[in-house]
Amino acid sequence: MNNEFRLLLALIDEAYERKSWHGTNLRGSIRGLTAEEASWRPSKGRHNIREIVVHAAYWKYTIRRRLTAEKRGSFPLKGSNWFARPSPGGAGSWEEDVELLRAEHRSMRSAIAGLAPDMLYRRGAGSTVANDHLIRGIAAHDLYHAGQIQLLKRLQRQG
């Protein structure tokens, strides 16, 4: 594996679950949350943490699919992008949502590690940008939502 791949893998690992200097990563932002905390909504029409977690899982799936030219339709939930999540105690659980995020991250990471070196700067299936851009983007996406989750947790505790 060349240095560019190592750097990109380190970037997505730090954004998702590895120790970093910038603060909480995505996995750290949801660690220890209860289903009730993850389902709290700051106001009507706003996303909650559960929805953000499944949204992040969906985009990891999408990046993997673009890198591997996999057909659409294999994401475990119906729909795309944003998914309504049941209230605590409803069908599907917070733990299942967290596991979905973990599984999609692992799958995406494996797809990145398995890319042929000549594919790094090519566009993936259904993408308008090169694969290296997609990989950097998913790391930024994780960090953006980690910050959003941190803010939601703080707002919830003040309310």
Q: How far apart are CA 42 and CA 53, in angstroms?
A: 16
Taking residues 23-32, report their average pLDDT: 95
Give me the pLDDT at residue 87, please: 73
- Residue 82 reports pLDDT greater than 60: yes
Domains in the chain with CATH codes: 3-147 (1.20.120.450)
Q: What percent of the chain has pLDDT over 70?
A: 96
138 vs 64, 133, 147, 157, CA distance in Å? 10, 9, 14, 29
